Amino acid sequence: MTTPAQAKISAMAAINEGLLLTPLATAKVWNPSKSITEPMTPSFSGSPGLVGVPEFVADKVTFAAPGTQKQNLVLLAKKAGLIDSEANWAQMTSEVVEELRVRAKKAYVTYGRELLKTMKGGVCTMFTCAAIGWVAENAESLPDDAVVELFAHVDSGAGHGFAVVDRNRTGNADKVDEWGDLCFVVDPWFARHRRTPPGTDHVKNLVVNDPFHLAAYVDFLKEPKARVSQLTFTKAELPTLL
């Protein structure tokens, strides 16, 4: 019988090997971070052209969202054809918000899958969206009952997007040390800044004495003032978003 620790090791290896076969392994980094860059040739950095990913409805955004968030939900609902008018707030129900969330997740995964075919460069959010697109197509590589979370660094206007798998969700999302031993991170953007393994691996284990562990990456995760879980995908849900 496979233990949770063994399932994690297998998942890290499968995801890393799979992503290394995609354009993410050679895509150029727009606006790279000098603080994490190993000596690189100029070719690793370049403008991606259009940047960005589809807008999503974060887990914490609900029907009872405050003013500006609710206004954004209304605009999205009108665009999706779920309400008749931007002025008709009475049609904004909890069911409409959940339908918006699912549609936005599908759009996010679809865009990520397209990036896997064409991406020649991008920002961190694009790298992460593509990685989640790959994971959605290969959900069998995840441990049973796995949860994939889209995370963001928040730091004085700057930020960074990455994916976290099987975090201990009873712990504090902002505290890396509480993410648990079964957790690992998927961050192809960081990998493109490095020249030597395990830095070049697209997955990172937070547990020491593991081939996928990089102390400098853990320091990178802890450096910003905050870490926020934005959106979750379950292993069972991901194939339904294809």
Condensed to tens digits (0 to 9), the pLDDT of residues 147-174 reads 999 999 987 666 899 999 999 999 999 9
Q: What is the domain extent for residue 69?
A: 4-28+54-241
136 within domain boundaries: yes
Condensed to tens digits (0 to 9), the pLDDT of residues 58-99 reads 998 887 766 677 778 888 888 888 888 766 667 778 888 899
Average pLDDT over residues 130-143: 98
44 within domain boundaries: no
Three-state DSSP string of the chain:
CCCHHHHHHHHHHHHHHHHCCCHHHCCEECCCCHHHCCCCCHHHECCCCCCCCCCCCCCCCCCCCCHHHHHHHHHHHHHCCCCCCCCCHHHCCHHHHHHHHHHHHHHHHHHHHHHHHHCCEECHHHHHHHHHHHHHHCHHHCCCCCEEEEEEEEECCEEEEEEEECCCCCCCCCCHHHCCCCCEEECHHHHCCCCCCCCCCCEEECCCCCCCECHHHHHHHHCCCEEEEEEEEECCCHHHHC
Predicted confidence band of residue 227 (pLDDT cuts 50, 70, 90) = very high
41 within domain boundaries: no
What pLDDT score was predicted for residue 87? 62
Domain count, the chain: 1
Whether the per-residue pLDDT at 223 is higher than 80: the answer is: yes
39 within domain boundaries: no
181 within domain boundaries: yes
148 within domain boundaries: yes
What pLDDT score was predicted for residue 71? 78
35 within domain boundaries: no
What pLDDT score was predicted for residue 103? 92
144 within domain boundaries: yes
The model's pTM: 0.93
